Structure 1
Amino acid sequence: MTSSRARRKVNPDARMPLRAHLVELRKRITLAAIGIVLGAIGGWFLYTPVFEAIQAPIMEMAERDDALVTVNFAGLASALDMQLRVSLILGVIISSPWWLYQLWAFVAPGMRKIERRYTIGFMAAAIPLFFGGIAFSWWVLPRAVAILVGFTPEGAANVLDAQMYLTFAMRLVLAFGIAFVFPVLMVALSWAGVVPARVWLRGWRWAIVIIAVGAAVLTPTPDAVTMMLMFVPMTILYFAAIGVSMIRDRSRLRAKREARESEAEQAA
């Protein structure tokens, strides 16, 4: 009877960690959302120069080929709708250091105190990689546009729907930024002892397939060139993350071995 009562008393408490995790998740999502909204307000004022930069490949191509290639706003409210959408995506980009920190802060409570010191390392790697992915996408964008617009028959006009084109451009930028951050999460999970490096390495074939599928889904165009431009750097970063994780695993094993040898010497 005593043991059954004890079990009844323990069970409600055993559910507390899950409830605490859900509360923490809601808190982090709320804080990240606030940061994105504030970033979107800044993005609203950056819309015009960003739109001009996104439109630049179209204008350069039209001037170079002496062809009618332009961006067209089809509906009465489409310009306002697109400014709101682009401002929101710019908010995600501008506030990326904030929501990346919230992501790490959600994972960090499950780590030991010594492992929480990796916050600086995580942020120092994640933020440059995120913006590095965005910079790389900015290099990819005009080349992807040139490939797609290049299929227009000679003498024909190519009037691009503004909603489609801006969504394509901003989705491409955001997809590259997020894709470049994933290896940092791999390293973080390995350094926290959640996923050892050998697990990442053992599943490299599945990882290649997943990266290929992810590159096909994330890139907003069906052409193989844009997909490969995302697939290749993601694969390189995947194996680089495994290398960093293996270094950490070896140092952890070495520390454990030295601790056991020290204990054995003290026992002797």
Structure 2
Amino acid sequence: MPLAEHLRELRNRLLKAVVAIIVVTVVALIYYKQIAEFLTGPVSDTVGCKDGEGLGSGHAKPCADFTANGLLAPFTIMLKVGMMTGVVVSSPVWLYQLWAFLAPGLHNHEKKYALGFVAAGVPLFLAGAWLAYAVLPTTAGALVGLTPENWDNLFPADEFFDIVTRMVIVFGLAFELPLLLVLLNFGGVITGRRMLGWWRGMVIGITVFAAVATPTGDPLTMSLLAAPIVVLYFGATGVALFNDRRRRRGNPDAGLSDDEASDLDLTPAPIGDIEQVSPSSRPNDAPDAADPGPTRRNGYDDAT
């Protein structure tokens, strides 16, 4: 398609993805109190102040209470909770729209793989989002544990949901990395052997990414994010190696290097009769009938 058609297709796909996110967001806004309690519940159970341990109680053990600061804070919190829920719950729709935009550039045999990638991408994204939710109590405990004794600690709810949103999206997209590598391997861009050779750099890169992506940066939270991605990376490498092996069995020249020639069948074969052009049909600049010259087709010689 020309560039304008590609841009129009991209606009339509983005519009469908945004509509899906908006629809889920509107539904989430109706139930945002229940969703907010679901998100903050594990953290409150871990670091929340019990009865008699709140503000001004002089408690010795660090704890924290959620608070909404400002007149517009409840409305802002409602929007953040709704948007985060919309992005996560509508992930099957916008992941499918992403595939639908890329599908026209794939061969028919590659499209069936793309459907599998979409089917695997949604659970991976949701698994990353669930992991972010699961490490929230550990993250909050590490942060609150830094509070000096006899200090009061408050969690502004809007900042808390900012952290939750960032962790959910980052964890979910990070779990898509192995799927992207497998997609590149099936497309012939990278090989499994090359992916295996990258393992040291990938492990270091994933660890650095986990340190930047997690709010606390403590070793436990980093490991909770880095370890599953490393395992998924080696799993993707295994899939790529298996696919390369399958591809080599179907291609006898797959093991040849770029500067090595494959075996050619040089047995002569008849090419059939070549159509002769009568002298009367020759162009004005053609040789005379005594010297027919090269055989021509539609006024052009065979070399042309």
| Cα contact 1:67–1:157 (8 A) shared by 2 | no
| Cα contact 1:67–1:155 (8 A) shared by 2 | no
Aligned to 1:9: none
Q: Distance between the aligned counterparts of 2:207 and 2:12, measured in 1?
A: 34
Q: Which amino acid aligns with 1:67?
A: E
Q: Distance between the aligned counterparts of 2:154 and 2:245, measured in 1?
A: 57
Aligned to 2:12: 27
Aligned to 1:50: 35
C-alpha spacing 1:237/1:252, structure 2 compared with 1 (3 Å)? same
| Cα contact 1:32–1:102 (8 A) shared by 2 | yes
| One of 199, 203, 206 as aligned partner of 1:204 | 199
Aligned to 1:11: none
Give the superposition deviation at 1:90: 0.8
| Cα contact 1:215–1:231 (8 A) shared by 2 | yes
Secondary structure at the aligned position of 2:135 is classed as helix
Aligned to 2:300: none
Q: Which amino acid aligns with 1:213?
A: V
Secondary structure at the aligned position of 1:257 is classed as coil
Aligned residues: 249
Give the superposition deviation at 1:160: 1.2
| One of 204, 219, 223 as aligned partner of 2:218 | 223
Aligned to 2:277: none
Give the superposition deviation at 1:89: 1.2
Q: Distance between the aligned counterparts of 2:197 and 2:236, measured in 1?
A: 14
Q: Distance between the aligned counterparts of 2:100 and 2:188, measured in 1?
A: 17
Secondary structure at the aligned position of 2:170 is classed as helix
Give the superposition deviation at 1:77: 0.4
Secondary structure at the aligned position of 2:101 is classed as helix
C-alpha spacing 1:58/1:113, structure 2 compared with 1 (3 Å)? closer
Q: Which amino acid aligns with 2:11?
A: R
Secondary structure at the aligned position of 1:108 is classed as helix
Q: CA RMSD in A?
A: 2.7
Give the superposition deviation at 1:81: 1.0
Query: Are 2:246 and 1:251 equivalent residues in the alignment?
Result: yes
Q: Which moved more, 1:187-196 or 1:197-206?
A: 197-206
Aligned to 2:295: none
C-alpha spacing 1:241/1:208, structure 2 compared with 1 (3 Å)? same
| One of 231, 237, 240 as aligned partner of 1:236 | 231
How do 1:1-268 residues align onto structure 2 when only pairs under 5 Å count? 17-60=2-45, 61-63=47-49, 67-68=53-54, 69-257=64-252
Q: Which residues of structure 2 form unaligned runs of 5+?
A: 55-63, 255-263, 269-304
| Cα contact 1:175–1:219 (8 A) shared by 2 | no
- Higher percent of residues as helix: 1
1:12-48 Cα distance to aligned partner (Å, 9 max, x none):
xxxx655544433333222222221122112212321
Q: Which residues of structure 1 form unaligned runs of 5+?
A: 1-15
TM-score, normalised relative to structure 1: 0.82
Q: Which protein has the larger Cα radius of gyration, Structure 1 or Structure 2?
A: 2
Q: Distance between the aligned counterparts of 1:256 and 1:99, measured in 2?
A: 36
Percent identical across equivalent pairs? 39
Q: Distance between the aligned counterparts of 2:127 and 2:40, measured in 1?
A: 21
| Cα contact 1:43–1:90 (8 A) shared by 2 | yes
Q: Distance between the aligned counterparts of 1:171 and 1:26, measured in 2?
A: 26
Secondary structure at the aligned position of 2:252 is classed as helix
C-alpha spacing 1:246/1:36, structure 2 compared with 1 (3 Å)? same
Q: Distance between the aligned counterparts of 1:129 and 1:137, measured in 2?
A: 12
Aligned to 1:10: none
Give the superposition deviation at 1:157: 1.2
TM-score, normalised relative to structure 2: 0.73
